[in-house]
Chain A
Amino acid sequence: MERLLGGDERAFEEAVADMYPTMLAVARGYVRNRTVAEEVVQEAWVAVLKGLERFEGRSTFRTWVLAIVANIARTRAVREARSLPFSSFEIEDGEPAVEPERFREAGQPYAGGWKSFPTDWRTLPESRLLASETFDLVGRAIEELPDAQRTVITLRDVTGCSAEEVCETLGISEGNQRVLLHRARARVRTQLERHLDA
C-alpha cells in the first residue's frame, strides 16, 4: 500500500491483477450486467486512489477496497433499478439441497434415508470428471444461480475469499452467508450430478 502511495506503477498493476476477479464478483452481486460491473470496478479504483492517504488501516486494505466496490455497486444498482432488479441477500424460505424424492418417506424402513446413493465421482474415469465440458457446466451453473447465491459462491469458492471477508463486504451475517453458499453449492452439485450420471 505504501508503494501505491509512492506512485509505484508496478504495485498498482499487481494490486489490480490480484484483486480484479474478486472486485468484479462483488460488483456483479449488485449489478448483474458485466459491462456495468467492470465500470463499477474502474470507478472503485479511482475512489481507492483518492482515499488512499486517508486509509486508517482499521480493516485490511483488501476489505477496505471491497467495501468501496460494494458501495459504488449498490449506488449504481439503485440508479439502474428501472432496468435491473436490486440484488437482495435476504434468505427466502426453504430450498432443499436435494430433491425430497431422493429420500424415503416417513414410516418406511430407513425413513429419511437415500432411496439410491449418489455416485462416488472418484469411480468415474478422470477424463470425464476433469473434461473441460464439465468445468464449463460448473461455470454455467454458477452463472445461472440467483444473484445472491452466485455472488457468495463466486467470492468464496471461485475467488477464494474468506467467510469473514464476504460477510463484511456484503454486510450480511455469517449464518446468512452460509445458507447462500449452501444453496449455491447444492444447486451446482445437482447440475453436476445430472451431467455426470447421464
Chain B
Amino acid sequence: MKAYKCLTSDGFGVFSRFAWPLPDGEPGAWVESEVATCRSGIHACRSLDLPFWLTPALYEIELDGPVDEQAMKLVAPRGRLLRRIDAWNEESRLAYAQMCIARAGELAADASPRIAAWAPTPEQQLGGAAQLGFMTAQVAELLGGPDAYLEERRRQSEWLVEHLALA
C-alpha cells in the first residue's frame, strides 16, 4: 500500500518534531516508533487522507510491520522515507490553492453571505494547503451537508493524485 508522510519543510514531524532521516537518492534509514516518538507508532496517510495533513514537504513512505488502518491515518511500528515527492512544490501548492479557491467560489456563487464568508479569497492563496482545503470543504458542507464535505475532500485527494502523479 502506498503511503505518504507530510513533514515540515526542514524534514521534521509536525507533531512529533522528530527529525526524519531524509531520502537522498536512496531511501532514508528505518525508524522504529520508540525512537521516533513516545506516541504510538509511525504515522502516515493514504492518498485519500492527504488533503487533511498537507504540509510544505511531502514524501512517500514505506511502512513495515502490522499496519493499523485508522479512519484518517495509518500507524505502523516501523517506517522509512522512500523519496520526496518533488512534484509537490511551490508551483503545485499554488495551483492547489487556486483550485480550492475556484471551487469554493463556484460552490458559493449563489449562496448566502453567511456561507460565502467561509470561502477563501484570492488573497489567501499563499496560506496553508490544509487550511484552504478545509475552508472549501466547509463551504460544501454548509451547502450540502456532511456527504458534500467528504465528496469535496475526495475531489481534493484526486486532484493531488493526478497532479503529483501519485497513482
Binding site of B, secondary structure by majority: helix, strand, loop or mixed? loop
Fill in one digit per residue for B79-123: 1 if any A CB lies within 8 Å of its CB, else 0.
000000000000000000000000000000000001001100000
A103-132 at interface with B (beta carbon < 8 Å): 109-110
List, sorted by A's number, 4 A–B pairs whose CB atoms are closer than 8 Å.
A109-B114, A109-B117, A109-B118, A110-B118
Cβ distance B104 to chain A, nearest Cβ, rounded Å: 13
Cβ distance A106 to chain B, nearest Cβ, rounded Å: 12
Cβ distance B140 to chain A, nearest Cβ, rounded Å: 15
Residues of B within 8 A of A110 (CB): 118
CA distance A109 to B119 in the complex (A): 10
Residues of A within 8 A of B118 (CB): 109-110
Residues of A within 8 A of B117 (CB): 109
CA distance A74 to B55 in the complex (A): 52
* Closest 4 pairs (CB-CB, A-B): A109-B117, A109-B118, A109-B114, A110-B118
A71-113 at interface with B (beta carbon < 8 Å): 109-110
Q: Which residue of B lies closest to A110 (CB)?
A: B118
Q: Which residue of B lies closest to A107 (CB)?
A: B114
Residues of B within 8 A of A109 (CB): 114, 117-118
Residues of A within 8 A of B114 (CB): 109
Cβ distance A161 to chain B, nearest Cβ, rounded Å: 17
Q: Which residue of A lies closest to B117 (CB)?
A: A109
Cβ distance A115 to chain B, nearest Cβ, rounded Å: 15
A165-197 at interface with B (beta carbon < 8 Å): none
Cβ distance B132 to chain A, nearest Cβ, rounded Å: 14
CA distance A34 to B117 in the complex (A): 56
CA distance A110 to B119 in the complex (A): 11
CA distance A110 to B142 in the complex (A): 12
Q: Which residue of A lies closest to B113 (CB)?
A: A109
Q: Which residue of B lies closest to A109 (CB)?
A: B117
CA distance A109 to B114 in the complex (A): 7
Cβ distance A53 to chain B, nearest Cβ, rounded Å: 38
CA distance A109 to B108 in the complex (A): 14
Cβ distance B52 to chain A, nearest Cβ, rounded Å: 18
CA distance A109 to B142 in the complex (A): 11
Cβ distance B14 to chain A, nearest Cβ, rounded Å: 14
Cβ distance B157 to chain A, nearest Cβ, rounded Å: 24
Q: Which residue of A lies closest to B114 (CB)?
A: A109
B115-166 at interface with A (beta carbon < 8 Å): 117-118
CA distance A109 to B104 in the complex (A): 15
Cβ distance B144 to chain A, nearest Cβ, rounded Å: 18
Cβ distance B9 to chain A, nearest Cβ, rounded Å: 15
Cβ distance A108 to chain B, nearest Cβ, rounded Å: 8
CA distance A109 to B116 in the complex (A): 9
